[in-house]
Amino acid sequence: MSKVLIIDDDEELCELVSEYLSVEGFEPEAVHDGVEGLQKAKSGAYELAILDVMLPKMNGFDVLRNLRKESMLPVLMLTARGDDMERIVGLEIGADDYLPKPFNPRELVARLRAILRRVHAEEPEGGHGEKLAVDDVEASISGRSAKLAGSELPLTSVEFDLLVALLRHAGSVIKKEDLSEQVLERELSPFDRSLDMHISNLRKKLGPRADGTERIKTVRSVGYIYTVL
């Protein structure tokens, strides 16, 4: 059973979500303020966290900022419906995904399972020890780790899978629709900025090449391309 930490001050919602997750095979635990939530999230006892934005003692954004200083624990943020800024900020800070309130519990479970599939992705048959390398960037498929010029890159599960997809097709354009289905496991929505924000975060972590050239270029209205020298 996957242990899920729920950080939300709405105790009734936490109880309902916990009951639903338990039926679906998860092991949920709920806390109701940001300080305790951060402490537990950093403990290493959970496989992922559900994090609300509005929390007492420490808001969800600050919880995530502090968590990302030392942990890549997958985080799904709960945001206010229609508040694009909350979603954008959450993704910029390092959330793996978001879900606006109120939400359908089945959608929540689907998002959580998609995150866990990314985290626990098994190596393709026949690809034992596979590594992808383009210029000074290297990704280990089995280890789900990446290096830039020999130094470890702290990537979220989404960022790692995006990097792998881009490296596999280096020099070729990948459509946004294909990336969304491959990595986020959902069809691309015209109002969903998740993919764009994850790409933006990945760009920042990779930075430009030594000669100043951009690694990931946007092909307007089509998708993205990982450039090769």
- The domains found in the chain, sorted by start residue, are 2-119 (3.40.50.2300), 131-226 (1.10.10.10)
Average pLDDT, the chain: 91
Q: Is 90 helix (H, G, I), strand (E, B) or coil?
A: helix
> Which residues lie closer than 8 Å to 168 by C-beta, 6 or more apart?
132
User: Comparing C-alpha atoms, which of 155, 160, 156, 112 is closest to residue 2?
Assistant: 112
**Percentage with pLDDT > 90 across the chain:** 76
d(CA 96, CA 91): 7
What does the pLDDT read at residue 118? 84
Mean pLDDT score, 198-227: 93
Tell which wins on pLDDT, 175 or 142: 175
Mean pLDDT score, 5-25: 96
What does the pLDDT read at residue 229? 79
Q: Which two tokens stand for residue 35?
A: 């300080």
Q: Which two tokens stand for residue 166?
A: 């881009």
**Percentage with pLDDT > 70 across the chain:** 96
The per-residue pLDDT for range 102-143, each reduced to its tens digit, is 899 999 999 999 999 888 765 444 444 588 999 999 999 888
What does the pLDDT read at residue 191? 79
What does the pLDDT read at residue 178? 93
**pLDDT of 36 strictly over 90:** yes
* 139 phi, psi to nearest 5 deg: -125, 130
The per-residue pLDDT for range 176-210, each reduced to its tens digit, is 999 999 999 888 888 788 899 999 999 999 999 88
130: number of Cβ within 10 Å? 13
What does the pLDDT read at residue 126? 46
Taken in order 206, 175, 133, 215, is the CA torsion positive or negative? negative
Q: Is 32 helix (H, G, I), strand (E, B) or coil?
A: coil
What does the pLDDT read at residue 192? 81
pTM above 0.85, yes or no: no
Mean pLDDT score, 3-25: 96
What does the pLDDT read at residue 193? 83
